[in-house]
A and B are shown apart, each in its own frame.
Chain A
Amino acid sequence: MTDTERQQALNTAELVDETAASAGLTGTLPPDTPQVAGGETRSQWRDVWRQFRSHRGAMIALALFILTILFVSVGPWLWTIDPTYVDIRARNSGFSAAHPLGTDQLGRDLLARLMAGGRVSIAVGLTAMVIAILLGSLIGVLSGYFRRLDAPLMRMTELFLALPLLPLLLLMVTLFREPLSKNFGPATGIFLLIVTAIGATSWMQAARIVRGEVLGLKEREFILAAKSIGTPPHRMILRHILPNVLSPIMVAATLGIATAIITESALSFLGLGFPPDFPTWGRLLFDAVDQMVLYPWRVILPGLFISLTVLCVNYIGDGLRDAMDPRIRGR
């Protein structure tokens, strides 16, 4: 039985129950064997998934996103050319059997570079999103739950919102790339730098959303009930508050991946991202711009990958929001 059919069966069962109950009041006696509670129940996440599946765009986007992730994670196992291997005799070659997507000006295989670049780009997006969401939820929950912390934390959020982000990011990356690459090696150092820089400058929206939700939740009866049996604040937050603000956090997280990927590639495009021998999609695009007249594909392919991934993530976020908040469906 598929999920939909099972849900339909459940729906009919519910309807029958309702009508049967009212019939019982007016007519015959209630049955001797009362129905046992439990059995097959609907969990919230299954409901969300069912709703999510009805959003066609989001489903296509999810499939494409999984394909992209497979492409960058499993791809290098199947296509084993080293992305940094310089084959100067094969430079600037077009689409061929040896290099399906051609090579760059140093003869490095573009397919392999796209896979390696995607790995970094998506890793940056995911890590930066995790940092931003953790920071944002922490600050949001703290300022929503503890009244005394609310004003100072929100002041701080407003201060961060007033910062000119792109110039500051540019500044941070230029100023600290040298010392960090010395300490952690060029690749790890820049990765840490970019991820923290993006994470530290994009938590504000999440914090505001979470704070609003927590403020609303605090007025509800179940929180009062939990408080009256003496639940300490940390368990209150972990057991009662956080699970209930999970859906807006998840939507913010999905959209956060998209922004992080775009920001990283923008930094790379301005020449302030990862070092040249360390490909990311933005870096590949930046490297190819000089020769875009002769080899337009080298620009278009990484750009397409960036746009497609971001589009998918945005659509997934849209679908998630629709699935989790029925009030705003279709907006």
Chain B
Amino acid sequence: MLTFTLRRLLLAVPTLLFISLVIFLLLEASPGDPLGDVPLTVPPEVKERMREALGLGQAWYIRYALWLKQFFWVEPLYWFDGVFGTAFSDGMQRIISFQSRSPVFDVIAQRLPQTLTVVGMSYLVGVLIAIPIGIISAYRQYSWFDQLGTFVSMVGFSMPTFFTGVVMIIVFAVNLQWFPSVYDTTHRVTDWDSFMVQVRQMVMPVTVLALYNAAQISRFMRASMLDNLGQDYVRTARAKGLSERVVVLKHVLRNSLIPVVTVIALGLPTVFGGAIITEQVFKVNGLGQLLISAIHANDIPMVLTLTFLFAILIVLFTLIADILYGVLDPRIRYD
């Protein structure tokens, strides 16, 4: 298991390098100009100096290597300094955003909590809804609950989050006025009342994302339960007189959760991607909103770093899913 993990980790390095190169070259091939918004009255030689200052003067491979150095060496050093109070990164250039002229990672650190609370909560809620639904609809296959559950999960799966989000805003924010339609990220939780405000503003984005995730996961859960319910060991468990509760919730559920857990791990990075849309609907200024505004402003370092972070998440969670599969199911041996 350890050798497998190490091998996969080593393999992840070239994968990630390749992905970063693809993103970098894609940005490089773009006709957009980060200085496009500079007024025309600025003389060309000044513009050229501005270009130099942004680091755009060199050849692309030098800038790529520089970015790699900043991402993998300077930023970790800076973080290390921040934690232990050392001064290794003094005088080193961090990745700077074109838009705000501040370090990219500082901006990301400001936006991350919003995305994590909304996306994390919604995934958690989604999983908590999906698993019981999957269990019941597999146990009572073809019952009205199962039919309804399958239909609802099909619908939830087919409705894009930007539509469900907008409909929820129309119904609950505009007509019923239960929840605010805009997520206020400056809100601080200090006491019970402000906590309730936070809960109220989180309800809608979390529900939208949770429903979408629950729809997918519950289908996996149901299929996996159905696979296991027909197995011989279930008959044996029943035959030796175990109560139905123990059979289903202990024997079958445990075995059925193995593939579902990996699906949950695999789905997590895509949820961050999907959150881009939900954040746009509810005006949450998280990572997705940051990415979109950076794309519009031709902020190359920001786009590159953010997209690369998404790629890291995907590679990491694929690895986690594979390892979890091996840990949970002793029959699976990678070595």
B-binding residues in A (CB < 8 A): 57, 158-159, 161-168, 170-172, 174-176, 178-179, 258, 262, 265-266, 269-270, 272, 285, 289, 292-293, 296, 299-300, 303, 306-307, 310-311, 314-315, 318, 330-331
Contacts and interface: CB of A to CB of B under 8 A. Distances in A.
B261 interface: no
A201 to B, nearest CB: 12
B239 to A, nearest CB: 25
A314 B166 contact: no
Contacts of B314: 161-164
B303 to A, nearest CB: 7
B157 A167 contact: no
A271 to B, nearest CB: 8
Interface string B13-46: 0011011001100110111100000000000000
A293 B174 contact: yes
A164 B303 CA distance: 12
Interface residues of B, number: 50
Interface in B210-239: 222-223, 226
A262 B291 CA distance: 20
Given A163-B19, A307-B163, A314-B157, A170 B292 contact: yes
Contact of B292 (A57, A176, A258, A270): A270
Given A164-B307, A306-B160, A314-B154, 4 more contacts: A168-B26, A175-B31, A265-B160, A330-B226
Contacts of B280: 269-270
Contacts of B313: 164
Contact of A289 (B27, B166, B174, B291): B166
Contacts of B141: 330
B212 to A, nearest CB: 11
Interface stretch (B50-58, B125-133, B270-278): B270-278
**Cβ-closest 4 pairs across A and B:** A164-B310, A175-B30, A303-B163, A311-B158
Contacts of B16: 162
Nearest to A176: B30
A294 to B, nearest CB: 10
Interface string B153-195: 0110111101100110110001000000000000000000000
B32 A168 contact: no
A282 B179 CA distance: 25
A168 B23 contact: yes
B19 A167 contact: no
Given A167-B273, A285-B166, A159 B30 contact: no
Contacts of B223: 331
16 contacts: A57-B151, A159-B19, A166-B274, A168-B307, A175-B26, A262-B160, A265-B162, A266-B277, A296-B174, A299-B166, A303-B163, A306-B160, A307-B158, A307-B159, A330-B141, A331-B222
Contacts of A311: 154-155, 158-159
Dominant SS among interface residues on chain A: helix
Contacts of A314: 154, 157-158
A179 B18 CA distance: 26
Interface of B: 15-16, 18-19, 22-23, 26-27, 29-32, 141-142, 151, 154-155, 157-160, 162-163, 166-167, 169-170, 174, 222-223, 226, 269, 273-274, 276-277, 280, 291-292, 295-296, 303, 306-307, 310-311, 313-315, 318
A306 B167 CA distance: 13
A261 to B, nearest CB: 9
B19 A162 contact: yes
A80 to B, nearest CB: 29
Contacts of A178: 31
Nearest to B162: A269
Nearest to A61: B154
Contacts of A175: 26-27, 29-32
Contacts of B27: 171, 175
Nearest to B309: A164
A330 B307 CA distance: 39
A330 B310 CA distance: 36
A283 B167 CA distance: 16
Contacts of A176: 30-31
A174 B29 CA distance: 12
A166 B273 contact: yes
A300 B273 contact: no
A174 B170 contact: no
Contacts of B273: 164-167
A175 B295 CA distance: 9
B32 A174 contact: yes
A171 B162 contact: no
Given A269-B277, A311-B155, A179 B163 contact: no
Nearest to A175: B30
A300 B15 CA distance: 42
A266 B303 CA distance: 19
- Which of B16, B30, B32 has its CB near the most chain A CB atoms (within 10 A)? B30
Contact of A303 (B19, B29, B142, B167): B167
Given A164-B311, A171-B303, A266 B162 contact: yes
